[in-house]
């Protein structure tokens, strides 16, 4: 009984390890990503945290940036675009 459970666990772990290894790529800066297109965003995130947001501190600038992004996204409606209205 325990041996069967151990075999199932070993097979499941091997399959998951193979899938995870296949889905991740190493970017030029050493970061891991699931898609090569995502590599450019690691440099962007580092730049934003270092130069814009006081070395990664979560303060008022971060709050304002998140609020601006949220409010901008909340005002975007596909229905308006389909009707030819400005979005």
Residue-wise pLDDT for 67-76, tens only, equals 887 776 666 6
Identify the domain containing residue 43 by its residue range.
1-52
β-strand partners of 26:
32
Cβ–Cβ under 8 Å, residues 41 and 48? no
Same domain, 38 and 62: no
Same domain, 26 and 65: no
| Local confidence pLDDT in tens for the 87 residues of the chain | 666 666 766 777 777 766 555 568 889 988 888 888 999 999 888 887 787 777 667 788 778 887 887 776 666 666 766 776 665
Q: 33 is written with which tokens?
A: 């990503």
Same domain, 25 and 14: yes
pTM reported for the whole predicted model: 0.43
Same domain, 68 and 40: no
Determine whether the annotation assigns residue 59 to a binding site: no
Active-site amino acid positions = 71
Report the alpha-carbon distance of residue 55 to residue 81 in Å, rounded: 38
Cβ–Cβ under 8 Å, residues 59 and 53? yes
């Amino acid at each position: 009984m325990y041996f069967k459970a151990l075999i199932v666990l070993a097979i499941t772990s091997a399959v998951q390890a193979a899938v995870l290894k296949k889905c991740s790529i190493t970017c030029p800066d050493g970061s891991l990503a699931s898609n090569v297109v995502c590599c450019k965003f690691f440099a962007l995130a580092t730049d934003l945290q270092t130069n814009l947001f006081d070395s990664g501190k979560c303060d008022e600038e971060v709050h304002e940036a998140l609020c601006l992004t949220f409010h901008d996204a909340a005002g975007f409606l596909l229905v308006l675009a389909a009707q030819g209205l400005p979005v």
